Chains A and B, each alone.
Chain A
Amino acid sequence: MTLLLQPGPCRRSGEKMDSEPLVRITGVAKSYRRGSQLVPVLEDITFAIPSGEFLALMGPSGSGKSTLLNLIAGIDTVDSGSILIGGEEITGLSEQEMAAWRSMNVGFIFQFYNLIPVLTAFENVELPLLLTGLSRRERRSHVDTVLELVGLSDRMDHYPGQLSGGQQQRVAIARAIVTDPAIIVADEPTGDLDRVSAGDILLLLDRLVREFGKTVIMVTHDPRAAEKAHRVIHLEKGLLVTDPGFHDSHH
């Protein structure tokens, strides 16, 4: 990792795939066991996401959108089907391989920020860099850059408890992009914020797509948030009900 926030494909794929979408999901199914019953959450999901797209996943509670996001992000495993990211099949990876893959290719933004409360904003953003071979000085330089990008350079020594919700989410975004991942997954990133802060966060996500070519996949209930996306996919009862297709609506 020598460059910071450069547009590009997944690192393990090695080359940009202009002809192939960044994410290709084919026939994915997932179910959870509740007692003795198997409850289907996703059934036969197939769609693709090109590099540099801002995609919104919408649907009512229990429709499986967060589960789908988790599967794309490699923090849950499919029952059947295939997920190709940057040309690499991630469904067959072991837990350890998946963790390494995630740390290099995916940035995470959560509804409740998921910052470590005993670490300062700087230290929270530095966390993912601890898994890289960067020196302390290099880490500091990366963290300074992303904190400046999210407008929190003056708050780097603050603990999450000393920041507002919007500021905490911006720290979370800084943490998500500090390793320069190809994909950023955001699970209800504005769900816990007021309208102004939510607007700021959406602008920031949009900027990541436009200026840095990141691929953002966002789960949201909020139609106003979905408006910012290039494409909106609707899920209902585990089925994909609306997908305009990326060729039609992309950019």
Chain B
Amino acid sequence: MFFLKLIIRNTMRHPLRSLLTVAGVAIAIIAFGLLRTLVELWYLGAESSSATRLITRSSISLVFSLPISYRDKIRQVPDVTAVANANWFGGIYKTEKNFFPNFAVSDNYLDLYPEFMLSGDELKGFRMDRKGAVAGRKLALKHGWKLGDQITLKGTIFPGEWDFVLRGIYRGSERTTDETQFFFHWDYLNETLKRTIPRRADQTGIFLVGVKRPEQAAEVAQSVDDQFRNSLAETLTETEKAFQLSFVAMTEAIVIAIQIVSYVVIVIIMVVAANTMAMTARERISEYATLKTLGFGSIHIGGVIFGESLAVSLAGGLIGIAATYPAAHWIESELSQFFPVFRVTGETVLLDLLAALVVGCVAGVFPTWRGVTIKVADGLRRIG
């Protein structure tokens, strides 16, 4: 108890220095936490994917379309429960700054995504209206959309102004479900293309294939791809998770760079904290020598120095963790077009705590060693 009191009072001895060190650790922990959350976000699509959904795409590249006629053939493959199709539309709402993912989908597409929760009436309204569209809750909230509103997207891949009527607003069943997507009828797109660019009609970007049980996925994927082997448009069928991870793989260098930066931030603050602690211990060498003179051992002196280092970094760590939540919330609300879901997970909080602990330990090692090994007579000579 006495030594705890001594540690706390020592920590408060130079309030400005302690405050700056705590602030430094806190900022580093916030940066570390946000960067880790960003890395986790990269894998969110893969993490929240279903094991009973497969994606069939062109085996050459995702940018090549597949004939819509494949849908019925895939449906006939044994163990396939449903087939839907979707096209990346890439439309712009007013300006490019308002980016959100928008897809032209088949009527049964949302049936395969139970995590997008839509009321029966809204789903019915969407299906009844050829120009009907469904938007995620966050997207609707951001742009102030209400049911019945007319929304116009400017096509980039498919030229022209495309008018839609908002018929449904879905909610995510999980906290991590993306609520910033926009869906409309593939039929509407296809019929328009038949009139305007006929050569691009009757094609789709991907097929979404539903299977009953996860263990059927490999066999079904093989069967689907076998069907179209040696055709003009060969397919590649994989689980939704593998499909999502292929996107991550394309940007893996960025993910690695972010991970490196997150650790560099911790290393920098470790050096800064170690310097501060070394400075603090150097100033107090005579006090440690006095304590030794009075008969106190290494465990007491080491404990006081190490304890102070841990106290400072843990205080910074806890403040940093507490501040990470509002920071993440701000990013999620203000930059939702880039980060539709930006939630700090328990794993990140544990990593934050671990990082603060490591900073405290590393920063305290050298000063502790110095304080513990100082010769009493040498330490006392430093007085005055």
Contact = CB atoms under 8 A, between A and B. Distances in A.
Interface of A: 67, 70, 73, 75-76, 96, 99-100, 102-104, 108, 110-112, 114, 116-119, 123, 126-128, 130-131, 175, 192
Interface residue SS majority, chain B: helix
Size band of the interface chain B makes with A: 20 to 34
Given A110-B383, A114-B383, A128 B295 contact: yes
Given A111-B383, A114-B286, A127 B9 contact: no
Contact of A111 (B6, B10, B384): B384
Given A112-B383, A112-B384, A75 B297 contact: no
B6 A76 contact: no
Contacts of B9: 118-119
A123 B9 CA distance: 12
Contacts of B383: 110-112, 114
A116 B295 contact: no
Interface of A is mostly: helix
Contacts of A126: 2
Contacts of B10: 118
Contacts of A123: 2
B153 interface: no
A98 to B, nearest CB: 9
B251 interface: no
Given A119-B6, A119-B9, A70 B295 contact: no
Given A114-B287, A116-B290, 18 more contacts: A67-B377, A70-B376, A76-B377, A100-B295, A102-B293, A102-B294, A104-B295, A112-B383, A114-B290, A114-B383, A116-B291, A117-B13, A118-B10, A123-B2, A127-B291, A128-B294, A175-B294, A192-B384
Interface in B5-30: 6, 9-10, 12-13
B296 interface: yes
Which 10 pairs between the two chains have the least Cβ-Cβ distance? A103-B295, A118-B9, A75-B376, A114-B290, A76-B377, A112-B383, A99-B295, A128-B294, A70-B377, A112-B384
Interface string B278-309: 00000000110011111111000000000000
Interface in B345-384: 375-377, 380, 383-384
A220 B267 CA distance: 50
